[in-house]
Amino acid sequence: MTGASRGIGRAIAERLAADGAQVIVHYARNDDLAKETVAAIENAGGRAYAVQAEFEQGVDALFEGLREDRLDIVVNNAAILGGVLGTVNQEQFDRVFAVNVRAPYFVIERSLPLLNDGGRIINISSAVVRIALPDLVYSMTKGALDTLGFSLAPILGPRNITVNTVSPGVTDTDMNAWLRDDPTGGAAVTDLTALGRIGRPEDIAAAVALLASEDSRWITGHVLDVTGGYFLG
Ligand code: NDP
C-alpha cells in the first residue's frame, strides 16, 4: 500500500486492515505520520508495519523492507502534483512521472512473483483524466495509470488477478490544502458535485475495499469514478 502515511492512502490502509489485511504502510519522508497510521491500525486490532522508500530513487527499498514473501493486494496510491504550464522544468517533469507512473509500474512488476493468484491490483488515478485542469503533467500521469490498468488486466487474467483503477474527485487531504483556507468550504467544487460535498479519504477507501473484496471478482480493467458525481454536466 503505497503512500499510506496520510490522506487517502492512510484511509485505505486503515480500511483494508479493518477488513482483515496485514498492511504494509509505505511512505516517503513522514516517519511520524507512518508510525501514526501503524498505531491506529494496531489500536483497532489490525496488523501493519511501515516501510520507507522515496520513489524517485526507485522501488527497491520498498521491496527490501517487506517481511513476507506473499501478497494478496497491491495498491498504488502515492503521487505528487506537477504545476501549471510554464512552471515545470524538464527535471521536475521527469520527477512527477517517476513518482506517479514509473514507480507504480515497477511496484507491480516487482509484486507479480509475490502476488497470489486471485489477487488484486488497484491503482489510484484521478478525475482529472476526464476534467481538463491546468496541471497538465499530473493529469498526463493519471492518464498513463488508467492505460496501465486497462492494458494489464488481460495479461493477469489467466492468474485470476484483477487490475482496477479508482479515480477520486476533490478529496480533503494535504494535496488540497487550499480547501482548509477557503471560507466557502470549497463551494466551487460542491456546487458541481451531485452529492453536494467534498470527498473524504474514507469515501475513496470504501471503493478500494470493494475492489479488493471477493465481491469484485468479475470486475477487471475498470476505471471507477469515485467523485460523488463531480462535473457530470
Ligand atoms: P497526499 O499528498 O495527502 O499523500 C501523499 C502520499 O504519498 C503520502 O503518504 C506521501 O508520503 C506519499 N509520497 C509523496 N511523495 C512520494 C514520493 N516521492 N515517493 C514515495 N511516496 C511519496 O495525497 P492524497 O492522499 O491527496 O492522494 C492520494 C492519491 O489520490 C494520489 O494518487 C492522488 O493523485 C490521488 N488523488 C487525490 C485527490 C485529492 O483530491 N486529494 C483527487 C484525485 C486523486 P509522505 O507522507 O512520507 O510524504
- Give the pLDDT mean for 7-30: 98
138 assigned to active site: yes
Percentage, residues of the chain above pLDDT 70? 100
Q: Check residue 137 and give its pLDDT.
A: 98
Distance in angstroms (rounded) separating the CA atoms of residues 132 and 156:
31
Average pLDDT, the chain: 97
**Residue 88: inside a domain:** yes
Residues touching ligand 1 (Cβ under 6 Å) are 3-9, 27-30, 33, 54-56, 77-80, 99, 124, 126, 168, 170-171, 173-176
Confirm whether 185 is domain-assigned: no
User: CA 31 to CA 181: how far, in whole Å?
Assistant: 26
For the range 173-177, what are the long-range contacts, defined as Cβ-Cβ under 8 Å and sequence gap of 24 or more?
173/6, 173/7, 173/8, 173/201, 174/6, 174/7, 175/7, 175/81
Q: Report the separation in Å between the CA atom of 175 and the middle of ligand 1, taken as the mean of its atom positions.
A: 7
Whether 109 is in a domain gets the answer yes
166 falls within a domain: yes
Give a yes or no: residue 181 inside a domain: no
Predicted confidence (pLDDT) per residue in 56-113, tens digit? 888 999 999 999 999 999 999 999 999 999 999 999 999 999 999 999 999 999 999 9
Query: Which of 1, 15, 27, 62 to mutate to test ligand 1, by most ligand atoms within 8 A of the CB atom?
Result: 27
Catalytic residue of the set 27, 105, 138, 230: 138
- Give domain status of residue 208, yes or no: yes
Number of domains composing the chain:
1
Query: How far is Cα 197 from Cα 149, in angstroms, rounded to an integer?
Result: 28
- Residue 180, C-beta contacts closer than 8 angstroms, at least 6 positions apart: 172
Interval between CA 174 and ligand 1 midpoint (Å): 8
Q: Given a cut of 90, is residue 233 above it in pLDDT?
A: no
pLDDT at 43: 98
Share of the chain above pLDDT 90, in %: 97
The CATH number that applies at residue 57 is 3.40.50.720
Ligand 1 centroid, distance to 79 Cα (angstroms): 4
pLDDT of amino acid 222: 98
What average pLDDT does range 132-148 have in this prediction?
A: 97
In a domain, 183, yes or no: no
CA of 158 to the centre of ligand 1 (A): 31
Mutation pick for ligand 1 pocket among 2, 6, 94, 174 (CB with most ligand atoms within 8 Å) = 6
Q: Does residue 222 lie within any of the structural domains? A: yes
Instruction: Choose which residue among 166, 173, 193 to substitute to test ligand 1 binding: the one with the highest number of ligand atoms within 8 A of its C-beta.
Output: 173
| CA 95 – ligand 1 centroid, Å | 14
Atom nearest to 100 CA in ligand 1? 32
Q: What is the ipTM of this complex?
A: 0.99
Cα–Cα distance for residue pair 89/109, rounded to 1 Å: 29
Give the tens place of pLDDT for each residue, 19-53: 999 999 999 999 999 999 999 999 999 999 999 99
Which structural domain range is residue 148 located in? 7-171+201-226
